[in-house]
Structure 1
Amino acid sequence: MIPDFEVTILGNTSSIPVHGRHHTAQVVRFGQDFLLLDCGEGMQLQARAYKVKVSKINTIFISHLHGDHYYGLIGLLSSYSLGKRTTPLTIFGPKGLDEIITTNFRYSNTKLPYPLEFVETDNKGMNLLLQTPRYDVFSFPLKHRLPTTGFLIKEKHGLRSMIKEKLQENKVPLEAIQSLRQGIDYTDAKGKSYKVKAFTHPLPPLRSYAYCSDTIYNPELKQYIQHADLLYHESTFMEDNVERAATTYHSTAKQAAEIAKLSNVKKLLLGHFSSRYTELNPLLQEAKSVFPNSILSEEGQTYVV
């Protein structure tokens, strides 16, 4: 059975929450696992509005220490405490995040009833952060005003699906089935061979999701996000503000599309919009002129990877 792999946008604005848009936060669901990517202010209210169960989140990834990407974190952790959470929680984030959180809790005399682990991210090269049986999570460097990382979630193959008719016809022993499901040919004691290709269905294509929060236009990203099924890339400005984008280490919608095209991704999801834009369709049209399979991220919407 192929597990669900989808992204729900809770916030897609930059700097100031305006025009009904909120600070960056999104939840990735892979099967029964829920991962939170960034945690801007208002994340909990957004999650309630769109019926996202934050209690199921066991792993949080913070891209960098600009407030619009993590100011909702202390409130979320405090709500977990008030809710008597006991399930362990792991936070991956840049140096200093653990100090910010623990200092706040020390002065507020907050004692968490659940285990909380901080793992410091490195914004040099590609790094494996989390391994599970069905997917891995990597960090990779983004170019911004502070140390910043993007995140790549890559699916791994599970056990292979057997061709039932072939099993019945050949009376395949249990030991062979166990081996074949793992993708390993099997030969029994009498020398009879059972080939994976003959007894299992072809594996489905592996899926991946790349998340680029805040970054200046950077063609080097292609080495980390090549062929991603879905790419979320910040598109703070339009091309008439390309100099402003460079000065603030952000990207335009057109530049995001150029990265998508250069990286041969399947679909581009635009986000992190400047408060100067009430209407977002011009950003979409700018991106689509370079990369036709571009869409605007919409708060409350879930996108299948």
Structure 2
Amino acid sequence: MKLTILGCYSATPRTFTNPTSQVLEINNHIFLIDCGEGTQVELRRNRIKFSRIKHIFISHLHGDHFFGLVGLISTFRLLTRDTPLHIYGPKGIKEIITLQLKLSNSWTDYPLHFHELISKDSVVVFEDEKIKVSTIPLQHRVYCNGFLFQEKPGDRKLLMSKVLNYDIDVAYYRSIKKGNDVILDDGTVIANEELTDDPKPVKSYAFCSDTKYDENKIPLIKGVTVLYHESTFLESHQHLCATTGHSSAKDAATIAKKAEVGTLVLGHYSTRYNDIELFKEEAKTIFKNVEIADDGKVFDF
């Protein structure tokens, strides 16, 4: 599981920082999460192939999280893309994007599918045989969702040294890898645990930006491998959190601790601060395993 931070600062882009956008690579999928201004430039800078992006997840309709989307869609068209693109985001995103494409006479030559979200409960928005993606309802000034990316358990590993001790036809190997026991011709039952080893542990990633402190999401993110949680403010500006619908570094760390996550990644910093290391120092007083996002930073989990 690989996370590339394209942008992780709040509000406006600057010459040396970018608004929210990141790429998650998990189990042969590449997911783009949020698409602030400058996203396509950062994709090029980080050598991420445009053609591999098939699913884009937009948390909410504040500009620092989606103003780069129509530009990216248009660039895909100029690059003669022909594969479908799926966009998941709040109701209204289809209207916003299609109006821009209509008035600029820039309709895509590839299938563009919008999946608009309105539920205030967690719902599954994408699923295949390897990955499931669900929403994480967040508390912000507008309708907003985080996203939970979960690997599905793989097949069990055949222990051939054990399997070959029995007269088992190779036609049953697939069934065994799926966790089934084996019944021999004489009726003897061979327990699956004797013939296989556990599959690789599954990984999960929870993206939570933007949101004020809210414990309602804790059951949804309980025990995830990695939690990205916004930390717009330091404790010195805690009084701004409630009115803006944002969190402090301590808020994020408290959620991580209560949810018993593996690693906490902080981001969405207010540009009023000159040293983002302060966010890590503050969070580590509550939760030990803390990382700080920064533009261009890559995490391998």
Say which of 245, 257, 262 aligns to 2:258: 262
Question: Does residue 113 of structure 2 align to residue 117 of structure 1?
Answer: yes
Corresponding residue number in structure 2 for 1:27: 23
Answer with 87-96 or 167-176: which moved more: 167-176
Q: Distance in 2 between matches of 1:268 and 1:284?
A: 10
Alignment of 1:148-227 (within 5 A): 148-227=144-223
Question: Does residue 55 of structure 2 align to residue 59 of structure 1?
Answer: yes
Are the equivalent residues in 1 in contact too, given 2:136–2:208 (CA < 8 A)? no
Cα displacement (A) at 1:189: 4.5
Provide the secondary structure at the position in 1 that maps to 2:54: strand
Answer with 112-121 or 196-205: which moved more: 196-205
Q: Distance in 2 between matches of 1:76 and 1:207?
A: 29
Are the equivalent residues in 2 in contact too, given 1:19–1:278 (CA < 8 A)? no
Q: Distance in 2 between matches of 1:21 and 1:292?
A: 26
The superposition leaves residues 59-115 of structure 1 with CA deviations (integer Å, 9 ceiling, x where unpaired) of 010000000000000011001100111111111100000001111111111121111
Corresponding residue number in structure 2 for 1:234: 230
Are the equivalent residues in 2 in contact too, given 1:123–1:140 (CA < 8 A)? no
In the alignment, residue 81 of structure 1 is paired with which amino acid?
R
Cα displacement (A) at 1:33: 1.2
Change (3 A) 1:289 1:88: same
Q: Percent identity?
A: 40
Q: TM-score, normalised by structure 2?
A: 0.96
Are the equivalent residues in 1 in contact too, given 2:27–2:131 (CA < 8 A)? no
For structure 1, the residue ranges without an aligned partner over 5 or more in a row are none
Question: Does residue 144 of structure 2 align to residue 145 of structure 1?
Answer: no
Once superposed, what is the RMSD of the aligned Cα atoms?
1.3
Provide the secondary structure at the position in 2 that maps to 1:261: helix
Cα displacement (A) at 1:20: 1.6
In the alignment, residue 251 of structure 1 is paired with which amino acid?
S
Answer with 79-88 or 16-25: which moved more: 16-25
The superposition leaves residues 231-251 of structure 1 with CA deviations (integer Å, 9 ceiling, x where unpaired) of 000000001111112110000
Are the equivalent residues in 2 in contact too, given 1:123–1:142 (CA < 8 A)? no
Q: Distance in 1 between matches of 2:104 and 2:14?
A: 30
Are the equivalent residues in 2 in contact too, given 1:123–1:147 (CA < 8 A)? no
Cα displacement (A) at 1:188: 4.2
Aligned residues: 301
Provide the secondary structure at the position in 2 that maps to 1:170: coil
Alignment of 1:95-114 (within 5 A): 95-114=91-110
For structure 2, the residue ranges without an aligned partner over 5 or more in a row are none
Cα displacement (A) at 1:19: 6.7
Cα displacement (A) at 1:203: 2.6
Say which of 221, 242, 249 aligns to 1:246: 242
Are the equivalent residues in 2 in contact too, given 1:217–1:256 (CA < 8 A)? yes
Cα displacement (A) at 1:300: 1.6
Change (3 A) 1:19 1:242: farther
